[in-house]
Amino acid sequence: MPDARLAPVAGAPNVAPVDRLGRPLRDLRISVTDRCNFRCVYCMPKEVFGSDYQFLERKELLTFEEIARLARLFAGLGVEKVRLTGGEPLVRRNLEQLIEMLAAIPGLDLTLTTNGSLLTRKAAALKRAGLKRVTVSLDSLDDAVFMQMNDVDFPVSRVLDGIDAAAAAGLAPIKINMVVKRGLNDASIVPMARFFRERGHILRFIEYMDVGHTNGWRMDDVVSAREIVERIGQVMPLEPADPNYRGEVAERWRYRDGGGEIGVIASVTQAFCRDCTRMRVSTEGKLYTCLFATAGHDLRALLRGGASDAEIVREIGTIWSGRSDRYSEIRTAATAKLQKIEMSYIGG
């Protein structure tokens, strides 16, 4: 039977698609820019994304109207949550206008991932436009370590000010993402856990991943989710918690004394694809069915070529129905060396 939540699109089947592994389409990540004001070593290393790097021209980017149209059509296919990503999404001019357009789509949970650098002056406007909450990337509280990782000498204090501004604006709950790389910031695991536990924000630790092909990924650099939990548990005892929903990537752990929770994303050491319900749209309208994809599908050509809503919906549904991605379950040394799409291009 058709899902009653789905918005009808004339001429398109009003049935939520499932992929070849029985997974429904529920989440959409939209990259609004390929640019970023950081040069994090695990994402946009400066030796690759230097001053002469050619980013996309403005005419190549999806317009706000095109993004909003796609989001509406995805909602009609069963998507419940849209996350705006980048690059750094807040460097896209007038992003509040896009958020207002997306917030008008009924039943859509709208959120954003940011490095926090521009939140101090933008948080209130984002909330007024209809954004519900934010996730902030922060990899250490130690200035020297954090500056080494963002590689643009950006201080921790300004990110923390942005987190405070987001909380004051009501963009809650706020989640903090920390990518952990052995020998670089793993000494920050416990201090980060303690700091954000005291402030009531949910901290999520992410294993250093073989996303893209420019970050010099090595298995030796990975600090496993298990080790992260063990380190924290030695000083602040933890117990496992049930997932909030099907397809939740982070494994949840509660502090035994009731003082909040953390999440760990075992993107390398455990298979985390089994319940994946995500699609990703890149800055210029390529559709990707996996974070570790090597190729995408051109939706911009349909948008600008006069395709009807029904035609676009059928294309998306066909792509999802043929999906069988499970990279983390089949990862090998060989797959880690594939020319995969950069994380800065399609978001995390």
Residue type, 79: V
Q: How far apart are alpha carbons 258 and 115 in whole angstroms?
A: 29
Q: In what order do the strands lie in the sheet with 261-265?
A: 238-240, 251-255, 261-265, 202-207, 175-180, 133-137, 109-114, 81-85, 27-31, 278-281, 286-288, 297-298
* Structure confidence at residue 1 (pLDDT): 34
Largest CA distance in the chain: 59
Do β-strands 278-281 and 261-265 pair in parallel, antiparallel, or remain unpaired?
Answer: unpaired
279 vs 263: CA distance, rounded Å: 22
The DSSP-derived string for 114-143 is E-STTHHHHHHHHHHHT--EEEEE---S-H
Beta carbons of 168 and 123 less than 8 angstroms apart: yes
- Which residue segments constitute the domains of the chain, with CATH numbers given? 27-346 (3.20.20.70)
pLDDT of residue 113: 97
DSSP state string for 73-106: HHHHTT--EEEEESS-GGGSTTHHHHHHHHHTST
Burial 206-238 (b: 16+ CB within 10 A, else e): bbbbbbbbbbebeeebbbbbebbbebbeeebeb
The pLDDT value recorded for residue 127 is 98
Question: pTM higher than 0.85, yes or no?
Answer: yes
Cα gap 261→31, rounded to integer Å: 28
Query: What pLDDT is recorded for position 242?
Result: 86
pLDDT tens across the length of the chain (348 residues): 334 344 556 555 556 899 988 989 999 999 999 999 999 888 888 988 999 999 999 999 999 999 999 999 999 999 999 999 999 999 999 999 999 999 999 999 999 999 999 999 999 999 999 999 999 999 999 999 999 999 999 999 999 999 999 999 999 999 999 999 999 999 999 999 999 999 999 999 998 876 555 555 577 889 999 999 999 999 999 999 988 776 567 899 999 999 899 999 887 777 666 778 899 999 999 999 887 777 789 999 999 999 999 999 999 999 999 887 665 544 455 545 555 566 666 766
Can you name the residues that pair with 178 across neighbouring β-strands?
A: 205
Give the three-class secondary structure for 293: coil
